Structure 1
Amino acid sequence: MRSMLLTVALVATALTGVYANDFENALNILVSNNLESKAAIKRGVSEVETMRAENVLPGPEAEFSRVWGTNAEAGNKLGVSVSQGFDWPGLYAARKRAADTAESALEFLRASSMLDTRRDARVLLIDYIHNQQLICHQSRYAARLDSMESYYKRAAEEGLETRIDYNKTVIERIGVHRELHQLERDRDALLVRLQAFNGGAPIDEVVRLAGDEYPAIDKGKLAGTLSLIEERDPGYAAARLQTEVARQNLKVAKMSGLPGFSVGYEHESEGGERFNGFSVGISLPSWSRKHASKAAVVDAELALLDAEIMLRQRKADFEEDLVQLDYYEQSLAEYAPIVSDMAPLELLRKALVARQITLLNYMNEYNYFVQANREYLDLMYEYQLAAARLNYYE
C-alpha cells in the first residue's frame, strides 16, 4: 500500500514545474563525456579540411635535362626549368565558397549532434528511473509476500492454516521474486549502457543525481515545440546549408571543366651559349568532367530533398508525441484516483483475516490492484519518454 501511495506522489511531482537541477546535472555529465558526439564532430571537421586541402596550388615543378650531341662538334645541351601550374582562376574562389558554407553547416551539425546526444541521454536516464521505480514497487510487494509466507508457515505448523495455503504463498512469492530479480538484471544492463554512454567513465555521480524520481515537466513549453522547428532546429539549418554546399560544388564541377594553365622559367645552355626564357602551357579538360557535373547536379537535388524530408519527419514525430502526451495524461488522470485509494486493499485484508475470502481469492484480487499500479508506472514512463523527445530544444 505504501508503494502505491509513493507512486502517486512521485507522479504528481513529475507533472508540474521545471526540470530538476539534479537531473539536468546528471544529463550534462553524460553529454560532456559522450564519445560518439565528439567523434561525429571530428568527422565533420575532417570533411571540411579535406575540401580546403583541395583548394591550393599544386607544388611547382622543376626539371633538368642533358642531351648529348651525335658528334663532338654538336656538343651537349643542358636545360633547367621551373614551372607552376594552376586551375582556372575562378575555380579557387568557388571552392573557397563551398568550403566556407560547409564549415557553417558543420557548426549547425555540431549543435544538432549535441541536441541528439542530450535527447538520447535524457531517454537513458528516464529508462533508469523507470527501472528504479519498478524495483521499488516490486520489492515492497515481495516483502509483503515474504511476511505472508512466514505467517502461513507458522500457522500451518500450528494447524491454524492448511498446508495448501502455505504452498500457494510460497509459489506466489517465488514468482514475485523472479520478476524482482529480472528487474535487477535490467538495472545492471542499464548501468552498463550508462557507463558506455558516459565514455567509460564512472557513473556513480550520474546515478546519484538521477535518483528515482522523474524530472518535472513544463507542458506549456512542450506545446510550442512544433513552432520552433524551422526557427531553432540546427539539423534543418544544416540541411539547408548542405543544399547550398551542393550548389557551390556544382559550380566547382562546371568550372573544373575549364582549361588549366602553367607558367614557367626556362634556362638552356648549348655550345657555350646560354638561353633564358619562359613557357606557357594549357591543360585541356577530360571528358570525365562531364560526369562529375551530372553527379553534382544530382547531389544538389538530393540535398534539397533531404532537407525537406528531415523537416517533415521532425514535424511528424513531434505531432505524434504531442498526441500521445495528451493520451497518456488523460489515462494517468483516470488511473490516479484508483491507485491512490487504499480502501479496497484494506477491505481485502480484513476479509482475509475474517476468513470471508480464501487466500487464493485474496491474492488474485490484490494482484489486480498491483497490476493496475504497474500499468500506472508504465504509463508515466511513456509520458516521460514523449516529453523527453518533445523537450529536444531545451
Structure 2
Amino acid sequence: REEAEAQKLANKTGIFLANPEAEFNYLWGSPDVIGNRTDVSIRQTFDIPTITGMKSRISNKQNRLVELRYKADRINILLQAKQYCMDLIYYDALKKQQTTRLRYAETIAGGYKKQLTQGDISLPEYNKALLNLSSVQGELSRIDVEQNAVLYELKQLNGGVELIPDDYRYEDTPLPTNFADWYASAEQKNPVLEYVRL
C-alpha cells in the first residue's frame, strides 16, 4: 500500500510551473561619467502542457492506474493465500488418511512379528510387512514436510504472523445459476478488467 501511495506522490511531482527567478544587479559605473546602473529581471519558464492542465490530467490517470494495479496485486495475493489454504486442507485430509494407514501397517507388522516368533511365516514375509510400514511412515513424513512448507508460505503472506493450527475445512461454494449475471458482477469487482479498459 505504501508503495502505491509513494508512486501517486511521484506522479504529482513536476506538474506545476517552476518557481520564478528574480535578479537584481547594481553596477557601479567607472568612470563616473557612465554612472551607476540598476538591472532588475524576472523570469518564468512555462510549458504548454502545464498551462493547459494536461500534466495534471495525465497525473490523475496515472494515479488511477496505480490504484488499479494495487487492487489487482491485492487480489492476486488473496488468491495465492486461498490456493495455499486449499493445499493446507488437502494435506490435512491426506495426513488423516495416511495416519489411518500407518495404524493398519503397524497392526499388520505386529501380527507378522508374532507369526514369525511362532514360526508360522518366514523372515522375507515379515520384512515385506516392515517395508510397507516404513513406506507408510516415509509418506507421512513427506506430507508433514509439504504441509509445513505451505504453512510457512501462508505465514509469509500473513506478514510473519503464524496461523493457528486448527481443523482445516473447506466449505462448498455453490455455482451461480446465471453465468451472465455472475460475469457482470465479477467484471465490476475485477480491477484488471478496468485497467485494460483504460
TM-score norm. by structure 1 comes to 0.45
| Alignment coverage as a number of residue pairs | 197
Q: Deviations over 1:266-290 (max 9, x none)?
A: xxxxxxxxxxxxxxxxxxxxxxxxx
- RCO comparison, higher one (Cα < 8 Å, 6+): 1
CA contact (8 A) 1:106 1:238 kept: no
Segments of 5+ residues of structure 1 without an aligned counterpart are 1-37, 242-394
Q: What letter matches 1:54 in structure 2?
A: G
Aligned to 2:170: 214
1:149 matched to 2:109? The reply is yes
Q: For residues 240 and 184 of structure 1, what CA distance do their matches in structure 2 show?
A: 45
Deviation at 1:228, TM superposition (A): 4.6
SS in 1 for 2:134: helix
Aligned to 2:192: 235
Q: For residues 82 and 200 of structure 1, what CA distance do their matches in structure 2 show?
A: 57
Q: What letter matches 1:155 in structure 2?
A: Q
Aligned to 1:67: 27
CA contact (8 A) 2:25 2:38 kept: yes
Q: What letter matches 2:171 in structure 1?
A: P
Q: What letter matches 1:212 in structure 2?
A: Y
CA contact (8 A) 1:108 1:238 kept: yes
Q: 1:89 to 1:111 in 2, by over 3 A?
A: closer
Deviation at 1:116, TM superposition (A): 2.0
Q: Deviations over 1:140-197 (max 9, x none)?
A: 1111101111111111111133222211100111111111111111111111111111
CA contact (8 A) 1:62 1:80 kept: yes
Aligned to 2:134: 174
Aligned to 1:355: none
Describe how 1:1-394 pairs up with structure 2 within 5 A: 38=1, 42-88=2-48, 91-204=51-164, 207-208=165-166, 211-220=167-176, 223=179, 225-228=182-185, 230-241=187-198
Q: For residues 177 and 39 of structure 2, what CA distance do their matches in structure 1 show?
A: 77
Q: What letter matches 2:143 in structure 1?
A: L
SS in 1 for 2:176: helix
Q: For residues 80 and 23 of structure 2, what CA distance do their matches in structure 1 show?
A: 59
| Greater share of helix | 1
Q: For residues 24 and 117 of structure 2, what CA distance do their matches in structure 1 show?
A: 110
Segments of 5+ residues of structure 2 without an aligned counterpart are none
Q: For residues 71 and 43 of structure 1, what CA distance do their matches in structure 2 show?
A: 63
Percent of aligned positions that are identical = 22
Q: For residues 126 and 219 of structure 1, what CA distance do their matches in structure 2 show?
A: 18
Q: 1:140 to 1:222 in 2, by over 3 A?
A: farther
Q: For residues 92 and 136 of structure 1, what CA distance do their matches in structure 2 show?
A: 68
Aligned to 1:363: none
Q: For residues 89 and 228 of structure 1, what CA distance do their matches in structure 2 show?
A: 38
Deviation at 1:67, TM superposition (A): 3.3
Q: 1:240 to 1:91 in 2, by over 3 A?
A: farther
Deviation at 1:215, TM superposition (A): 2.1
